[in-house]
């Protein structure tokens, strides 16, 4: 950071979350619960679950995982962890929204927020692996507009006295769905590094999520988000900014992320976690301890 950059205070430092709570070594009840409880004990603020319904076989770019790498459904996994934890927030990072039925997903999200006593955050994205989208039956073309429509429809089901929606891909009227989410409004975070994702964030969401970004890449993304917020007359400071860092963390590096406007760091376990379903849980425990908020100079 430049010499003139102000040093963030402890209150301004990012909180710390743990990404990958439903995959690899955490794709079992024992692994997920052990990691989740340890993270909560150490002051992590959130647990993040990703989504891939299927993976290409054989693996082909842009897919980042092998076809036999285990990933639990994020909402099912977070339901288990809602019962196993008390304070830590539960988030999807992300659900591939165009692949989901929005009416069913709205029910699942509301149910999870109720069962977690208001601890859920819905992270959404539009998808990038064509074979996965094709297998689910969702076209790649138009997936962004589909996601925007689905989100508006779900919000009607969560909050409107008489839910109703009419769009190109979803239509309903004369229905209702209870229980409603505990949180009103329920926090929505948009994942993605494109300008379209930034526009979606400032127009429709409460925050943004960037995956595996170093400080330089984060600065570029945040600058774009600021421009898009200005374009629609929204205060950038209203947004939460979550980043999974792509570099080794220490208090100085964390301070740099904070100065860029990052409000949460969702740390990603080491490479072996992504290539081995039998990644040792003891090694994951060591990683969680090493990135505890206190060790990084963050407020729990």
pLDDT for the residue 4: 44
Residue 229's pLDDT band (boundaries 50, 70, 90)? very high
Q: Tell me how far apart the alpha carbons of residues 288 and 98 are, in angstroms, rounded to a whole number.
A: 32
Of 78, 196, 97, the residue nearest 151 (C-alpha)? 97
- Report yes or no on 142 lying in a domain: no
Q: How confident is the model at residue 64 (pLDDT cuts 50, 70, 90)?
A: confident
The answer to whether residue 36 sits within a structural domain is: no
Angle between helices 74-84 and 102-115 (to 10 degrees): 10
Range of the domain at 207: 192-268
At residue 91, does pLDDT exceed 50? yes
Res 299: pLDDT: 72
pLDDT at 40: 98
Give domain status of residue 227, yes or no. Answer: yes
> Is the residue at 233 inside a domain?
yes
Cα distance between residue 200 and residue 147, in whole Å: 9
Q: Is residue 21 over pLDDT 50?
A: yes
pLDDT confidence band for 258 (50 / 70 / 90): very high
In a domain? residue 96:
no
Mean pLDDT across the stretch 67-74? 96
Number of domains in the chain: 1
Query: How far from chain centre, in Å, is Cα 189?
Result: 7
Say if 231 falls within a structural domain: yes
Q: How confident is the model at residue 71 (pLDDT cuts 50, 70, 90)?
A: very high
Average pLDDT over residues 81-96: 98
Question: pLDDT digit string (tens) for 162-207?
Answer: 999 999 999 999 999 999 999 999 999 999 999 999 999 999 999 9
Is residue 185 in some structural domain? no
Give the whole-number percent of the chain exceeding pLDDT 70: 96
Whether 11 has a pLDDT exceeding 80, the answer reads no
Contact 252, 1 (CB under 8 A): no
Domain membership flag for residue 79: no
């Amino acid at each position: 950071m430049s010499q003139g950059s102000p040093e963030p205070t402890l209150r301004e430092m990012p909180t710390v979350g743990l990404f990958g709570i439903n995959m690899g070594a955490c794709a079992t009840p024992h692994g997920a619960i052990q990691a989740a409880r340890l993270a909560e004990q150490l002051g992590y603020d959130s647990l993040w679950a990703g989504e891939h319904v299927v993976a290409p076989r054989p693996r082909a770019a842009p897919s980042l995982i092998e076809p036999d790498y285990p990933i639990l459904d994020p909402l099912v996994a977070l339901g288990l962890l809602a019962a196993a934890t008390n304070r830590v927030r539960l988030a999807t990072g992300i659900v591939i929204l165009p692949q989901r039925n929005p009416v069913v997903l709205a029910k699942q999200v509301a149910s999870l927020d109720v069962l977690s006593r208001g601890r859920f955050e819905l992270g959404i994205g539009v998808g990038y692996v064509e074979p996965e989208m094709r297998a689910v039956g969702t076209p790649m073309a138009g997936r962004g507009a589909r996601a925007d429509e689905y989100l508006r429809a779900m919000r009607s089901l969560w909050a409107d006295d008489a839910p109703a929606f009419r769009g190109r891909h979803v239509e309903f009227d004369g229905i209702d769905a209870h229980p409603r989410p505990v949180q009103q409004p329920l926090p929505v975070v948009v994942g993605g590094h494109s300008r379209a994702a930034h526009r979606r964030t400032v127009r429709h969401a409460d925050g943004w999520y960037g995956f595996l970004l170093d400080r330089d890449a984060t600065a570029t993304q945040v600058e774009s988000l600021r421009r898009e917020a200005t374009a629609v007359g929204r205060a950038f400071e209203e947004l939460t900014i979550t980043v999974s860092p792509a570099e080794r963390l220490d208090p100085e590096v964390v301070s740099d992320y904070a100065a860029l406007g990052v409000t949460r760091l969702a740390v990603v376990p080491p490479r072996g976690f992504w290539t081995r379903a039998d990644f040792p849980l003891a090694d994951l425990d060591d990683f969680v301890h090493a990135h505890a908020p206190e060790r990084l100079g963050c407020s729990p």
